[in-house]
Amino acid sequence: MEQQKTYVEKHRVAENVYVYRTAIANISFITGLGPKGKDWILVDAGVPLSGGFIIRFAEKMFGRESRPLAVLMTHAHFDHIGGLRAILSKWDVPVYAHRAELPYLTGKGTFPPADPAVGRGLMALISPLYPRRAIDIGESAKELPEDASLPGLPGWRWIHTPGHTPGHVSFFRDDDGVLLAGDAFITVKQESLMAVMSQAKEIHGPPAYFTPDWDTAGQSIRKLAALNPKAAITGHGQPFYGQELTEGLEKLTKGHETFVVPKQGKYVH
């Protein structure tokens, strides 16, 4: 029992909010839901082939009788949708995304080519090999409500944070300032294999090799910084809290051209 408690606390970021890393990308769980408080909502679905790991993690954390009520997508890049098919084959639940992101969940869209010219490391260099084509989850894909509410999650809201992708969103709980930022900003230098392997902590702009609109990405970072979040889970890297998070976001917002935008690349103007 004590060992299980330690395991649960290891992944806890805030009340009823947990993080799990699938190789190079994070997913989040929002728990304490449903009539008995045993159900949960999944935020993003990890890298390819991670579905089984996600299911086993959820069962270990929350019990085999628990189940997801929905999946919320920050965006539909390959390293955030990799476990969706396995999850949907086990649980028939809706997958909510922004209207502009739905084409990438219904087989109708292809993301722009990656940009290895941004440099910064091996992960960027090999980025043309990363999948860009949409998956098709059919009628499971649902549009997020226009009023910014989140189905089944009172107290949370979604925020449109485009730039990394057109329909990128982040999720925020106003009561305690918990932010699930997706890739609007991240906390590791994702372009560098060494940084990814070591998980060296650094408030960082969105993954440069997959970001086609830097002006809009900067606006999204400023929008999130203005919320004054107290804790943040991002799509890549470790959770950040308190003053460290505040100072990191201030650095990004005040030094967008220096710390966020690459010095070169096909999408850099």
Residues 44-69, mean pLDDT to the nearest whole number: 96
CATH number for position 217: 3.60.15.10
Whether 268 is in a domain gets the answer no
pLDDT band at 183 (very low <50, low <70, confident <90, very high): very high
What pLDDT sits at residue 5? 63
Enter the pTM of the model: 0.96
Residues 151-170, mean pLDDT to the nearest whole number: 98
What pLDDT sits at residue 89? 98
Residues 54-79, mean pLDDT to the nearest whole number: 96
Q: Which strand (E) or helix (H) includes residue 9? A: helix 2-11
In tens, the pLDDT along 81-110 reads: 999 999 999 999 999 999 999 999 999 999
What pLDDT sits at residue 157? 99
Whether 264 is in a domain gets the answer no
Count how many domains the chain has: 1
Residues 23-33, mean pLDDT to the nearest whole number: 97
Residue 50 is part of which domain span? 2-108+115-256
What pLDDT sits at residue 1? 55
For residue 191, which of 179, 200, 178 has the smallest C-alpha distance?
Answer: 200
State residue 9 phi and psi, 5-degree precision: -65, -30
Ramachandran quadrant class, 162 (left: phi over 0; alpha: psi -120 to 50; beta: rest) = beta
Whether 208 is in a domain gets the answer yes
Task: Answer whether residue 212 shows pLDDT above 80.
Answer: yes
In tens, the pLDDT along 187-197 reads: 999 999 999 99
What pLDDT sits at residue 36? 87
Whether 57 is in a domain gets the answer yes
Residue 26 CA to residue 237 CA, distance in Å, equals 8
Whether 267 is in a domain gets the answer no
CB atoms < 10 A from the CB of 171, how many?
A: 25
